[in-house]
Amino acid sequence: MCGRYTIVTKLESIEKRFNVKTAQPELLIPNTNVSPGDKAPVITNQHPDILQFFHFGLTPFWAKKRMYFFNARAEGDHNKENNPQYSGAKGIVNKPSFRKAIRSQRCLIPADCFIEGPEKEKLSKPYVVYLRNGQRPFSFAGIWDIWTDKETGEIVQGFSIITTVSNKVTQKIGHHRSPVILHPDHEQTWLNSNADLGEITELLRPYDARQMNAYPIDPMIKNPRVNGLELLNPIGERLFPEQEFNLTQYLKLEGMGMTRARQRP
């Protein structure tokens, strides 16, 4: 699964990268620990030229009470053993919570990196997973929905990150899933409301592990109320050797200047 990620890139850089404008720029708050329930930027197929802010955690429109589906399995009920070699049917198209959204309510979810841990230890042993060669922000493949609380009238716009089988990076971490990261060339297809469903499900595959890497960080990040670039400081070596690269320093230079931990209210 993918329940934590980071987005601190400056608004101008996000707008340029995804060719969008932001109607409410004040809502973009740098967040190194995006957690379920947080508001975060998305680009929907409904408004592909606008950066909007939805809640991390989708509630299906038909639900009687609010839910927080922050991940949606590409395989649906198939591949319950999470075999990384699985290449069969994409059962998400039949899941009641997601079958409408995967067809007509897709979105890009901008991110700088994501946080993952082993299947058993989870965020007690977290790793920062990032794309090599400064490929950020990138985009997760997401779906969205709008739910209305019938008692209060509150309207909640929420999104889920689609997950697929693990690649060599998440396998080495010890995790059984990985988020679907879209290649830039595929982002417009994902946002195309008229795209064939088969063309869409073909994109639900692991990202090229050769373009990714990861390193361990302090488990303090498992507290969703803690935030700050210090959370991303390495406490060990990267999984795979590469030229010297400091992700935290990059985000300080290219991001929004978030340099110290803070407690959320």
Residues with catalytic annotation?
Answer: 2, 116
How far lies 75's CA from each of 50, 91, 99, in Å?
30, 5, 12
The phi, psi pair for 155, rounded to 5°, reads -105, 125
Identify whether 60 is preceded by a cis peptide bond (ω within 30 of 0). Answer: no
Q: Three-class SS of residue 112?
A: coil
Instruction: Please name the residues in contact with 185: beta carbons below 8 A apart, sequence gap of 6 or more.
Output: none
Per-position DSSP letters for 20-77, written without gaps between them: -EES-GGG---EEEE-TT-EEEEEESSSTTEEEEEEESB--TT-SS---B-EEETTTT
Pairing of strands 71-73, 155-165: parallel
**Phi, psi (degrees; rounded to nearest 5) at 144:** -135, 165
- The token pair at 246 is 């400091």
